[in-house]
Amino acid sequence: MYDLIILGGGPAGAAAGVYAARKKIKTLLIAENFGGQAVIAAEIKNFIGFKSISGIEMAKRLEEHVRDQESIEIKNGRKATSITKQDNFFIVKTDKDETFETKAVLLTLGSSPKKLKVDGEEKFEGKGVFYCSTCDAPLMKNKIAAVVGGGNSGFYAVLDLLPYASKIYVLEYGDSFRADPVYIDQAKQSGKIEFITMAAIREIFGDNFVKGLKYQDRNSEEIKELKIEGIFVSIGYQANSDLVKNLAEINQNGKVIVDCKTQKTTCEGIWAAGDVSDVLYNQINIAIGDAIKAVLNIYQHLKSQS
């Protein structure tokens, strides 16, 4: 039986690991990998103590720092698939068919790109449906691509695609683009972009790979088709709160509600910190601070139990 299981290896999870070790809490950290979403940032300029650091470098340092704590057990390359509450402990299961018992759980699972939830999206993931333009934009060399989402992250995808794609459609659900004008201008100047507003994506189709998409023009209600070979989904992020949705209270945006002084969720024995929680600002520095707050409170809680 562990005292604490930390789920997630982003900045919050790593910070929690370091603090749990210093408090000698018997801890297991389960993470798919280290760094979380910040990994894909080319440059982070507001991580305090570093004038500039790449996402990868930061991930490496987080991992090093946690692994330096001898008393923390780490299981990476896997993810938790369920948390079950017993009388006064929890059972955590993973996708490697492992089962662990713990007195406390700290959820630091961050968030993931939001999905469109349309037919074909899941089927063609990696086969033309992409969520990481930094990674996969070069695969669109001389191909026609679409970007869904007209905010800044959508336009980052457009800028990633510009050197490669022959044509790019940018589809936005609303009636205007929310991205900073500087990005929109940059995209316009390329001459290979077609902007489409009031577009609701309905279906992604193809054979082995994506061949096109269907969207509904929200003005005319007409269904239209675009022949494309890649679709980059950039419609925001979704908190990875599924594991506790039947245990703790989740807000309307899917984030785990926490007490901001202690990071306690509404389920006794479960804490949450970072982007998975209903924290107001999604910042690495804040996620780290909140995770530390959680561990210090968990330490008090465990002490009061023993």
Partner 1 sequence: MVKIYSTPTCPYCEMTKEYFKEKGVNYEDYDVSVDDKAREEMIAKSQQMGVPVIDIDGKIIIGFNQPEIDKALGL
User: Which spans of this chain sit near partner 1 (rule: CB under 8 A)?
Assistant: 33, 39-40, 42, 55-56, 59-60, 76-78, 96, 126-128, 130, 132, 134-139, 141, 160, 164, 208-209, 230
HSE-up of 68 (CA within 13 Å, CB side)? 11
Residue number with CB closer to partner 1 (39 or 158): 39
CB of 43 to partner 1, least distance (A): 12
Burial of 72 (0-12, 13-18, 19+ CB in 10 A): buried
CB 29 within 8 A of CB 66: yes
Nearer to partner 1, 120 or 269 (CB): 120
> 168 vs 279, which CB is nearer to partner 1?
168
- Least separation in angstroms between residue 124's CB and partner 1 is 9
Distance (Å, rounded) from C-alpha 214 to C-alpha 200?
Answer: 9
- C-alpha span between 176 and 181 (Å, rounded): 12
Shortest distance, position 301 Cβ to partner 1, whole Å: 33
Indicate the angle between helix axes 284-305 and 11-22, nearest 10 degrees. Answer: 40
Q: How far is the CB of 132 from partner 1 (least distance, A)?
A: 8
User: Please, what is the minimum distance in Å from the beta carbon of residue 202 to partner 1?
Assistant: 23
Nearer to partner 1, 25 or 147 (CB): 147
**What is the amino acid identity at position 83?**
I
Report the residue number, 33 or 285, with the smaller CB distance to partner 1. 33
Residue closer to partner 1, measured from CB, 27 or 133: 133
Query: Could you give the residue ranges of the DSSP H alpha helices within 68-195?
Result: 133-136, 152-161, 181-189
Shortest distance, CB of residue 40 to partner 1, whole angstroms? 5
Give, for 3, the enclosing helix (H) or strand (E): strand 2-7
Selection from 54, 13, 7, 9 nearest residue 34 by Cα: 9
